[in-house]
Amino acid sequence: MPTVDCAPAVARRRLEEAGVEPEPGNTDHERWRATYEGATIVAYEETVLVQGATPGRAMALLQGGADRAYLYFDGACRGNPGPAAAGYVVVSGDGLIAENGRRVGRMTNNQAEYAALIDGLEAATGASIAELQVYGDSELVVRQLRGEYQTRNPELQERRVRALELLEGFDSWSIDHIPREINERADELANAALDAAE
């Protein structure tokens, strides 16, 4: 369950600015809780936790935005197809905006790569970022998004369209292929999600 680097009072203010009114907590230890974009946000005395299958957008909202940010994404698959997971990290010059790794079911490695990209783009979309630079170690996904490779597989076509729709929400964006060793944190998050489910 991700912990947000944000004081409860700041988190509450950002939620209210987004039109979300927090409710009282369910236990004596909870200060308040709220629901945003499919995630549940729970504030304790000095900590804010985000629960749910898709916490990225809530985390990005709570941690504030940046003019320019960098998204690193990676999918992991045990077998092809096989159990799969997606990991992403969104950072700016001010530090971490959002990161997460989650199981995405049974799929191919390329599908998992797209799942990681889409998760990261959704998190970045909620963070008021103007310029986004995207990096991944999947040459196929990078080249398909650039239009250098055709996307013949219907499942990948659908994911490519969704990714491009999300990218249109930024003032400017770019996507580049990087070596796996530079994509270490996104890879760690995806693999940790797979390991946790075993």
CATH of the domain at 31: 3.30.310.10
3-class secondary structure, 178? coil
Distance of alpha carbon 164 from the chain centroid: 15
Residue-wise pLDDT for 90-125, tens only, equals 998 778 889 999 999 999 999 999 999 999 999 998
Residue 126 pLDDT level (bands cut at 50, 70, 90): confident
Kindly report which listed range (40-44, 50-54, 156-160) carries the lowest average pLDDT score: 50-54
pLDDT value at 69 more than 60: yes
75 and 146 fall within a common domain: yes
Q: Are 8 and 96 in the same domain? A: no
Picking from 13, 28, 53, the residue at the C-terminal end of a domain is 53
Longest CA pairwise span in the chain (Å): 56
Does 135 lie in the same domain as 92?
yes
Q: Is the pLDDT of residue 2 over 80?
A: no
Res. 129 pLDDT band, cuts 50 70 90: confident
Residue of 123, 128, 126, 114 lying closest to 164 (CA atoms): 114
Q: What is the domain range of residue 46?
A: 3-53
Tally of domains within the chain: 2
pTM for this model (two decimals)? 0.71
User: Residues 147, 95: one domain?
Assistant: yes
Neighbours of 165 (CB within 10 A): 12
Q: Supply the pLDDT for residue 103.
A: 96
pLDDT at 1 over 60: no
Residues in Cβ contact with 148 at an 8 Å cutoff, skipping those fewer than 6 apart: none
- Asked if 146 and 170 sit in the same domain, the reply is yes
pLDDT for the residue 7 = 87
